Structure 1
Amino acid sequence: MYEETVYEELDRWKRKLTKRQSMMGRYTKGLQAKVNGLIPEKVHTFVTTSIKNMTHATLIGSEYTTKIEPKQGLSLSERDENFKEILTSYKRTAALEGAGTGAGGIILGMVDFPLLLSIKMKFLFDTAATYGYDVHDYRERLFVLYLFQLAFSREEKRPMLLERIENWTEEKEKLPSKDVYLAEVDWKSFQLDYRDYIDLPKMLQLIPGFGAIVGATANYRFLEILGETAMNGYRMRLLEDKKEYRRKP
């Protein structure tokens, strides 16, 4: 019964992901482009470098490795409950971090970018373990990055990313070695997608005083979006793995 409810929720989520952007969304995108032109280039460079360093560390480093061991033998409903507790904790952490750095204006506001990225990565690694997947496997780290990219990607890229996540069982078998794949990662595209998604609210965060409110609200919302994507991404994998298991004699 619970799994049937999850299937329905997954269908609604996928429809929402592939829905055409609203007129307000397109207007905001245009406004964002104008705001970007007013921001000093050194700020953009700092953000881009932070994103690349985070992505690189996720693939080959141990900076975000979770202390939570992959949980085995739990039902999907139990995993979802554990995940919701983790998400609530990380949303609070992200909001407090955004409020603190947002209150300090442009200098502390710039510091928020790598801090928030670190929070998001640690959250995704903890989520992977909660759903029973081991992020010491580089292929699981790649899956984490695809979830991250799907959550903050441009509208036209979402169908392709969603399809890759839905078919991860087949996708991961096609992956080359970690070292070879690392050289093929489209760093620029990954950075631009994420930077474009977060630019407008995060640039408003650089305004002293006002930035504290924007920082807390924006960070909380970003974790909500990432949490929804991560939960449903792992739900799809667990249900698909279970289906494959049932097919075996």
Structure 2
Amino acid sequence: MDHYEQQALRELQQWQIRMNKKPSLFNGLTKGLQNKVNNVIPDKIHEIMTSAIKNIVRAALLGSEFTTKKEVPSGLSLAERERLVRERLRFYKKAAATEGAATGAGGLFLGLADFPLLLTLKMKFLFEVAAIYGFDIKDYRERLYILHLFQLAFSSDARRREVYQKVLNWEATILEFPSLQAIDWRRFQQEYRDYIDLVKLLQLVPVVGAFIGAYANYHLLDNLGDTAMNGYRLRFLQQITITPK
């Protein structure tokens, strides 16, 4: 291993410790608050959010519109690949912040429009990252991996530990999914919504919505970037006979 790979491995191990942490008391209190928030959000908003998640994620996993057309040179080192990932992450964080500010300043209806737009940005980013690390995003199994990384980034503490074990033992996990139809869409939607509903609700507040939208979207992409990089480091380093545990 070169110096960069050694540093990446240390960062990966620190990330793995975070992924394995048990749910905290604060997490339980947050979940209770989330349930109360869900009860006061109008049913129409719930329907819009659920429909957006289902349609966009299915399109990403079953269609071709999210595949990247950019060619990534073969034989790149881990350092070179991650330089490209960081460049794309900076682009997507700025795009998400700009979009969040614009929709947050527009009141209820534009605020709701942010939900599918942000979800689309997240999916596009994950597809680009997978390609940069050298994985074939036309393979449905790689799209399943993208879906699991998405869940890992935006799930409760308890669910996160469960998904992390599936990511860690990926070769066994893919045997559970003979096709994309085996995905538990209902659970996937609810976990994602529970993770970001409170933030998206605050984004609908007049005056402060633009600031909240920009700040929240920027950091949601930052969290996704950290999860994606370490999720693919896990497999990339495994390919060169390093097996983190």
Structure 2-normalised TM-score?
Answer: 0.93
Instruction: State the Cα distance separating 1:164 from its structure 2 match.
Output: 1.7
Q: In structure 2, which of residues 149, 165, 168 is the aligned counterpart of residue 166 of structure 1?
A: 168
Give RMSD over aligned pairs.
1.6
SS for the counterpart of 2:71 is coil
**Worse-superposed segment, 25-34 or 195-204:** 25-34
Q: In structure 2, which of residues 193, 210, 226 is the aligned counterpart of residue 195 of structure 1?
A: 193
Q: Verify the 8 A CA contact 2:107 2:204 in the aligned structure 1.
A: yes
Residue 52 of structure 2 aligns with which residue? 50
**Worse-superposed segment, 18-27 or 114-123:** 18-27
CA deviation map 1:40-79 (0-9, x unaligned):
0000110001000012112211221112234420111111
SS for the counterpart of 2:241 is helix
Instruction: State the Cα distance separating 1:109 from its structure 2 match.
Output: 0.7
Residue 156 of structure 1 aligns with which residue? 158
Instruction: State the Cα distance separating 1:11 from its structure 2 match.
Output: 1.2
Instruction: State the Cα distance separating 1:170 from its structure 2 match.
Output: 4.2
Unaligned 5+ residue runs, structure 2?
none
Q: Verify the 8 A CA contact 1:153 1:194 in the aligned structure 2.
A: yes
Distance in 2, matches of 1:143 and 1:184, equals 14
Distance of aligned partners of 1:33 and 1:27 in 2 relative to their CA distance in 1, 3 Å threshold: same
Q: Verify the 8 A CA contact 2:101 2:212 in the aligned structure 1.
A: yes
Q: Verify the 8 A CA contact 2:107 2:205 in the aligned structure 1.
A: yes
**Worse-superposed segment, 155-164 or 85-94:** 155-164
Unaligned 5+ residue runs, structure 1?
245-249
Structure 1-normalised TM-score?
Answer: 0.91
Instruction: State the Cα distance separating 1:171 from its structure 2 match.
Output: 3.4
Asked if 1:34 is matched to 2:36, the reply is yes
**Worse-superposed segment, 14-23 or 90-99:** 14-23
Equivalences for 1:119-158 in 2 at 5 Å? 119-158=121-160
Asked if 1:232 is matched to 2:208, the reply is no
Residue 61 of structure 1 aligns with which residue? 63
Residue 8 of structure 2 aligns with which residue? 6
Residue 247 of structure 1 aligns with which residue? none
Aligned-residue identity in percent: 52
- Paired positions, count: 240
**Worse-superposed segment, 223-232 or 158-167:** 158-167
Q: In structure 2, which of residues 111, 114, 118 is the aligned counterpart of residue 112 of structure 1?
A: 114
Amino acid at match of 1:31: L
